[in-house]
Structure 1
Amino acid sequence: MSAIGEYLKKIRGDMPLREAAKRSGLSHSYISSVENDKHPTTKAPVKPSPDSLKRLAKAYNHSYEELMKIAGYYEESDTSEDTSELEEISENRKKAIEEIRKMDEEEVAYFYDLMKRIKK
């Protein structure tokens, strides 16, 4: 089971899957697949999208940012950028950071994934 799957199951607690589905707008079978990290047909690992994590965070009254970190979309240090540190970096990096701060969480997750691919 993946870290995010285990964590989601833990924070869901005693809430039935169908109640979690109703609150989140996701299907109970999808939530089960995420929690068990296995697609029922293909047996492939299941990584929830940022949108799914946002819905689950709201349904479970939990931190979206924490779910994004556990799912591997970004690290804790990615969200703790202090503005005083911006003075020590290049102008291009300052501009890039300011643009990222204007993005919603789904855009940030997509951009972060793209950056990882470029760096490889």
Structure 2
Amino acid sequence: MLSDTTIVLHPKDNRYKHLHGRYAIHPFNDWKLKIICDAELVDPNFGTGAVKITPAHDPNDFEVGKRHKLEFINIFTDDGKINNNGGVQFEGMLRFTARVAVVEALKAKYEQD
């Protein structure tokens, strides 16, 4: 999640037509995540029909990233720690420690709202 660069929707999914071309804000680093459409990756009948994309860390997302010329952000150091691209509150954590910390940070962030 820390290197997500966009959110993808199916172009014919009427639930989200109002979001095409808009932006969401990443919850930890305030990056603007463009909301785009991709009929190849997204199945509007599966889950929410909205998919977050991490081109540098997932094979399917990599393909979406190439198709849509997305930014590929690496958040890992050579020894498996979160680098400065991964958000200041997670920088220096080992990847498995960061996974737990991200979940806890999301819970804390959205329990307040």
- TM-score clears 0.5: no
Which protein has the bigger strand share?
A: 2
- Comparing both structures, which one devotes a greater share of its residues to helix? 1
- Relative contact order (C-alpha < 8 Å, sep 6+): which is higher? 2
TM-score (norm 2): 0.32
- Based on CA coordinates, which of the two structures has the bigger radius of gyration? 1
